[in-house]
């Protein structure tokens, strides 16, 4: 292929390498690469209409919002005083929640670009945020080991879920909105029923559970772990049905496609893997292009996969944060 086209982005010193970038010797290359200037990218999320990609990282507490329809455009949302670990859009796409190491959750009004309110209460950095499917609730997971539920439109604290014995790394809602799942450094995932006050602890990983996701039909829970594996759990029985083996380092991120057919995972082994949810088999390996992949997310239509992490290390820290966009190819029958 010829020389990649380059566009300089606004405000962030953004560099976008569009299709055709020579990034490695693999058979497949990403559609676009965003070199954002963060020392690390920790979280990405697509807006419900697929236009925006929110990116959280270590750029002075600032969250970036990339306009995927106009590659040169970027908005910034400053406000945190430490690394932004988590980003999530509301189902209507009018709010953006960000969680950071400063222990705060900021909720932004995207139409005005202003901060709607600040959620305080966690006694440690916030690692995960998620809106309920109806947009009424916001859940957060933090270093204090708790999962908290908030009223998404007012910021009112509703409930604190306690049960993890160490940092809570990730949180997600069940599709019916009545349950919440979380993953923790204590090597467990927990399925919570906040309405009844019940919880079910899922054990089996031999390392921290760094990320969780739920299939759109509500049948399966996906967990990623520092033990280098992923697990597919039946939410009916609480038992694992697949253990996904292939990564050669800690797995930091997991996501499931909107049609429920594919799992994406990102790892310290510098790759993104795509798996068939039904069989648990590897469909494709993307990379290696990163030094470490910290976050993955499917677009709402399932056609794109965003992956973020560290593009290259300088000495003992990440010198370049990176986001890639990939075309998603469905598994063959």
The number of distinct structural domains making up the chain is 1
pLDDT < 50 stretches in the chain: 1-15, 17-26
* Domain contains 76: yes
CA–CA separation, 28 and 270 (whole Å): 15
Q: What is the mean pLDDT of the chain?
A: 89
Give me the sheet containing 282-286, strands edge to edge: 251-256, 262-267, 272-276, 282-286
* Domain contains 86: yes
* Domain contains 154: yes
pLDDT (tens digit per residue) in 35-74: 877 678 999 999 999 999 999 998 778 999 999 988 666 7
Asked whether 72 and 8 are in contact (CB, 8 A), the reply is yes
- Domain of residue 134: give its range: 6-171+259-321
* Domain contains 209: no
CA–CA separation, 137 and 41 (whole Å): 26
* Domain contains 178: no
Question: In this predicted structure, what is the pLDDT of residue 8?
Answer: 34
Tell me, what DSSP letter sits at residue 40? -
Question: In this predicted structure, what is the pLDDT of residue 21?
Answer: 40
* Domain contains 218: no
* Domain contains 41: yes
* Domain contains 98: yes
CATH number at residue 16: 2.130.10.10
Question: In this predicted structure, what is the pLDDT of residue 2?
Answer: 30
Question: In this predicted structure, what is the pLDDT of residue 329?
Answer: 87
Question: In this predicted structure, what is the pLDDT of residue 313?
Answer: 66
pLDDT (tens digit per residue) in 80-113: 999 999 999 999 999 999 999 999 999 999 999 9
Residue 177: CB partners within 8 Å, gap ≥ 6?
132, 133, 134, 136, 137
CA–CA separation, 188 and 262 (whole Å): 23
């Amino acid at each position: 292929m010829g020389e990649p086209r380059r566009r300089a982005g606004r405000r962030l010193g953004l560099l976008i390498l569009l299709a055709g970038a020579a990034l490695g010797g693999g058979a497949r290359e990403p559609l676009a690469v965003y070199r954002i200037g963060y020392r690390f990218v920790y979280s990405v999320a697509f807006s419900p209409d697929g236009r925006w990609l929110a990116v959280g990282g270590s750029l002075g507490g600032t969250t970036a919002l990339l306009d995927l329809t106009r590659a040169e455009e970027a908005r910034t949302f400053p406000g945190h005083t430490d690394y932004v670990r988590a980003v999530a859009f509301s189902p209507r796409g009018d709010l953006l929640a960000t969680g950071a190491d400063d222990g705060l959750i900021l909720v932004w009004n995207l139409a005005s670009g202003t901060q709607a309110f600040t959620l305080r209460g966690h006694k440690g950095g916030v690692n995960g945020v998620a809106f309920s499917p109806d947009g009424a609730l916001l859940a957060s997971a933090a270093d204090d080991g708790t999962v908290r539920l908030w009223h998404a439109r007012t910021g009112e604290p509703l409930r604190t879920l306690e049960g993890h014995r160490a940092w809570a790394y990730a949180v997600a809602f069940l599709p019916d909105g009545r349950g919440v799942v979380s993953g923790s450094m204590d090597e467990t995932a927990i399925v919570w029923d906040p309405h009844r006050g019940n919880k079910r602890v899922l054990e089996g990983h031999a390392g921290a559970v760094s990320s969780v996701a739920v299939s759109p039909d509500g049948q399966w829970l996906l967990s990623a772990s520092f033990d280098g594996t992923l697990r597919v759990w039946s939410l009916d029985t609480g038992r694992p049905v697949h253990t996904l083996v292939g990564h050669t380092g800690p797995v930091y991120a997991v996501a499931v496609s909107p049609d429920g057919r594919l799992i994406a995972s990102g790892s310290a082994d510098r790759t993104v893997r795509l798996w068939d949810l039904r069989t648990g088999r590897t469909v494709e390996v993307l990379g290696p292009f990163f030094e470490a992949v910290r976050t993955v997310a499917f677009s709402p239509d399932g056609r794109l996969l965003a992956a973020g992490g560290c593009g290259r290390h300088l000495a003992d820290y990440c010198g370049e944060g990176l986001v890639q966009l990939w075309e998603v190819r469905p598994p063959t029958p």
